[in-house]
Amino acid sequence: MSENALRTDADFEALYERNWLYVYRICYSYMGNAADAEDCAEDVFVKILSGGIVFSDAEHERKWLSVAAINRCKDKLKSSAFRLTDSLDAEDSPEPAAPEKEDYSDVREAVLKLPERLKTVVVMFYYCGYKAEEIAKEFGKSPSTIRNLLKEARDLLREKLGGAYDGGEE
Domains annotated on the chain, with CATH: 1-97 (1.10.1740), 99-170 (1.10.10.10)
Convert 28-71 into a string of H (helix), E (strand) and C (coil).
HHHHCCHHHHHHHHHHHHHHHHHHCCCCCCHHHHHHHHHHHHHH
DSSP, collapsed to helix, strand or coil, labels residue 103 as coil
What average pLDDT does the chain have?
79
Q: What is the pLDDT of residue 170?
A: 47
In the predicted structure, residue 44 carries a pLDDT above the cut 90: yes
